[in-house]
Structure 1
C-alpha cells in the first residue's frame, strides 16, 4: 500500500499525531485537511527529503534493517523485536512518526506495514549513503580468486570418496584423520586440518572439519546424500541421483540457503549483510570500506572477533560458494578487493524473492558437542538452571560450558530430576540437535542409573523388612 492509502485508513487521532510529529500545519479537527496537508508535504521534494532524513536519523537502526527486507509488512512480535532498542513505548511513537501504519484488514498475518513509497524513499536515502562510503575501482585487480561452482565439484568428490572407501567415525562422530587427509588431497580447494579446540556454532560438524569441508559435509547430510549410521558413513544412492539430476543453479541456491541457516545463529544479521552486498554490487569494492558499511550488522561470536566473522565467516565463505570473488594487488598480499559475481547476484536475488526473513530471529541457546560438552551460545540463567542437575561446569576462556557424563546423569536421576524432560529440553534448545553418539550414550547412562537406583531402592526396602 502507498502512503495515501495508509493515511486514508488511519483514524483522526493517528493523523493528528502524525501531523504534529512531522510539523505539518493543518486544521486539526478535519480528517480531510490533515490528510491533504500531509500528502502535500510528502509530494514536495524538499519536504519529503526533510521527512526521510528525520526518520532515518531518529529511527536509524530499525529503518536500516527494514529497507533491506524484501517485504514491507510485519507481525507485531517481529516489529516489537525490531523496535526493542527504542524503549517500551517505541511502537506507539513509530505509529505517530508517520513511517509505520496499521493494516486496514485486522485479520492479516502482518498487521504493521511501511508504505511502499516511504520504504522506497528511505531505501534510496540509505543506498546513496552506503554507495558514497565504499571505494571502487573500475579495472580488475592483478590477482583474482574466484571459485565459481567448485563447492559442488567437491561435494561430488566427497560422495565418490565415501562410496569407494570404508569410512568410519570416531567416538566423537568425526571421520578418522587418515580419511580426512586422503579426502583433502582430492578436493579442488584444500584446507589445513589443524583446528583450535573451541569450534562450534557454524554447523553440526564444524567442531571436527575445516570451515569449507564442514559446510559441504553438513549440506550432504541435510540433503540425505550422506548418511551416518552405526559409526559408519555411507552414500544414499537414490538421494544422490535425485540431487545430481537438479540444475546447477538449484543446487547452488540450496547450498547458499544452507549456509545462511547454519551461520545465522552466531551471525543474526547475516541475511541483512547479504542483501546489502547485493545492492552494492557491480564494480570492485575496497574490502576495508565495505566492512565499515556492513559494520552495524556484524558481531563478535565467542572465539571469533568481528574481523574473524567478517573475513572468515562471510567473505571467505561467499568466495567458496561462488557468490563473490576477491582480488589483491600483489601475489602474496591479503585480499584488498571484493566483487559480487554474476552468479552471486542471481543467487542473492533469488534469496530475496524466497525471503530469508521467515527464518527464526531467535539465536539458538546451545551447541551440543560430540565430545559431550554443552556450550551456551545465548546466555540464559533460567536455561542454565535447568541444565545444572545433569551436567558439571568446565573451565573455559569466556565460555559458559558444561559437560554431561555418566556420573552427572546418575547424580541427577538419584536426586529425583526428570532426565527425559531434560534431554528433550536440550534437544529443543540445541542449534543442531543432539549428536547421535551423545544421544546413544545418554540413553545408556540413564538406563544404567535407573537400574542402579531400583536395585538400591529394593535393597533398602529389604533391609527395613
Structure 2
C-alpha cells in the first residue's frame, strides 16, 4: 500500500499524533483535510531530505534496515531484531525506534485481516527515501570505463562443466579433502573463467567449507554443488556425481542464477552479517550507471566490520569480486585508474528478487570445514 491509502485507514487520533510530531498546524475539522495536510508534508522531497539528515546514527541505520528490506510488512519480532542490529554494540530502547517510525508516519499498523498483527511500510515512501539515501553519495556523472569485466551467466555454465568433469573423470581427493592440484589445473583450463590453485602460504577460512582448499570462485561452485547434493565426497577418497548431479548433465540443465545468488548470500552472511544491506546499497548506487568503489565504500562503512585477517576494505573488494563472478555487477577501470562498478539488469533482478534480509546463514554442515571432525 502507498502512504495515502494507509493514512486513509488510520484513525484521526493517530493522524493528529503524526501531525504533532512534525510540529505543524493542520486542520482537524475533518479527517480528509488532515490527510491532505499530512500528505503535503510527508510527500515533499525537501521535507523528507531534511528529516533524513536530522536522524542520528542509530535512527539512520534502523531506517536502512527497514527501508532497504524488500518486504513491506513486518512482525514486531522482526522490527525488534532490526532495532537491535541498528544499536549494534550500544545499549538502547529497541521499542523507541519502532515508536519513532510510527510517530513520523513512516510505519503503520497493518490494516487488512492478513496484516492486522503486523506493521507496514508505505511502498511509495520507501522508494522516495531510498532514492534520497543514494543521492547523498552519488557523484557527478562518471565516464564509461576504459575496460571492464562482465561475467553474466558464466558461473552457472562453469558449474555445469565441473559436474561434467566429475562425471567423465576419476577425481581422487587428498587426505585434506582437496582435489589434487593437477586435476584442478585440468579442470580450471576448461572453465570460461579460469583460476589457479591456491597458494597455501596465506590464511583462508570463513567463506565456505572448502574455501581453504580452492580459489574464491571455484570454492563457491564446489560448495554449491555439494550443498545441492550434486556431488558426494566418498569415504574412500573420491568425488562422485550423485544421481541428482548426473541428471543436470544428462538433461543439459542450466542452474538457476537466482539459486546460486541466494546460496552466496547465505554463505557470506557468516563473515558479513549485514551483507543484505551492503548489496542493496550497491544496487541503489550503481544500477544503470558506473559508480566508483570509493563512493560505495563510504556508503557501506557502517555495515562491514573486519573479520579476522580481513579488513573492511578487503571484505568489500571480496564482495564486489564475487558479485562480478555471479553476474550481478560489472567491474571496470576508468582512464584515471579509478575502480568502477555497475549493476547489471540481471543483477538488479537478483538483488530485488531475493530478500536477503529473510535469508539465514548456512549451518555448519555447509559452511564449516571442521564440522563433524574431531579436534585433537
- Structure-2 separation of matches of 1:433 and 1:47: 46
1:126 offset after TM fit, Å?
A: 2.0
Match of residue 310, structure 1, among 287, 308, 316: 316
1:57 aligns with 2:54: yes
Unaligned stretches of 5+ in structure 2?
Answer: none
Residue equivalent to 1:157: 161
Unaligned stretches of 5+ in structure 1?
Answer: 365-428, 446-465
Match of residue 123, structure 1, among 105, 124, 130: 130
1:288 offset after TM fit, Å?
A: 2.0
Residue equivalent to 2:68: 68
- Structure-2 separation of matches of 1:63 and 1:7: 20
Moved more, 34-43 or 297-306: 34-43
- Structure-2 separation of matches of 1:44 and 1:18: 11
Report Cα offsets for 1:314-350 as digits up to 9, x if no partner: 12112222222222357xx976222233xxx224314
- Structure-1 separation of matches of 2:240 and 2:116: 43
- Structure-2 separation of matches of 1:320 and 1:265: 19
1:304 offset after TM fit, Å?
A: 0.9
Name which one, 1 or 2, has greater alpha-carbon Rg.
Answer: 1
- Structure-2 separation of matches of 1:121 and 1:329: 30
Secondary structure of the residue aligned to 1:227 is strand
- Structure-1 separation of matches of 2:247 and 2:365: 29
TM-score, length-scaled by structure 1: 0.68
The 5 Å alignment of 1:308-387 reads 308-311=314-317, 313-329=318-334, 336-341=339-344, 345-360=345-360
- Structure-2 separation of matches of 1:329 and 1:257: 31
**Residues 354 and 329 from structure 1, CA distance in 2 versus in 1: closer, same or farther, beyond 3 angstroms?**
closer
- Structure-1 separation of matches of 2:373 and 2:333: 49
Report Cα offsets for 1:26-59 as digits up to 9, x if no partner: 47xx6x6466335314225886632553145323
TM-score, length-scaled by structure 2: 0.82
Residue equivalent to 1:146: 150
1:185 offset after TM fit, Å?
A: 4.0
1:294 aligns with 2:228: no
Cα RMSD between the aligned structures? 3.3
Residue equivalent to 1:405: none
Aligned residues: 363
Residue equivalent to 1:269: 274
Residue equivalent to 2:40: 43
1:351 offset after TM fit, Å?
A: 4.2
Greater relative contact order (Cα 8 A, min sep 6): structure 1 or 2?
2
User: Does the 8 Å CA contact 2:274/2:304 hold for their aligned counterparts?
Assistant: yes
